[in-house]
Amino acid sequence: MTITGAQVEAADAASRDAAAGAGVRVRELAELPDLAAACALFDEIWQPGPGGQSLLHAELLRALTKAGNYVSGAYDEATGDLIGACTGFFGPPAEASLHSHTAAVLPGALRRAVGFALKLH
């Protein structure tokens, strides 16, 4: 499947519109402090069980990004705070697919379509 430049431009526009509608700025994350903040957000939302074993670690997310995969964060436009994050990894080259693995939004930001903005990004 070949993706055209027009399709990429339309997807980018939809992503920007969704982020604006949700009142967030979505950007890819690659640096360890940003990835650690995303992991802390996931832990806050999913609350690791007894023993406090986190579901994801910053070092794993960093390895994923170094291998060309995807981690992003949604930052509230009003406060600048990280309020959502998303991770994904690519499938086999022949499939040209991105598996969206996790997406999470803090409870206080629910019903704003932040998750939708993250997914479109």
Three-state secondary structure of 60-116: HHHHHHHCCCEEEEEEECCCCCEEEEEEEEECCHHHCCEEEEEEEECHHHCCCCHHH
Q: What is the model's pLDDT at position 11? A: 87
Cα separation, 87 vs 74, whole angstroms: 12
Contact of 54 with 39, CB cutoff 8 Å: yes
Kindly give the interhelix angle for 58-66 and 32-46, rounded to the nearest 10 degrees.
Answer: 130
Contact of 22 with 113, CB cutoff 8 Å: yes
Low-confidence ranges of the chain (pLDDT < 70): 1, 94
R_g (Cα) of the chain, nearest Å = 15
Q: What is the model's pLDDT at position 55? A: 80
**For residue 111, how many other CB atoms are within 10 A of its CB?**
7
Cα separation, 73 vs 22, whole angstroms: 13
Q: What is the model's pLDDT at position 49? A: 73
This prediction's pTM: 0.88
Q: What is the model's pLDDT at position 100? A: 83
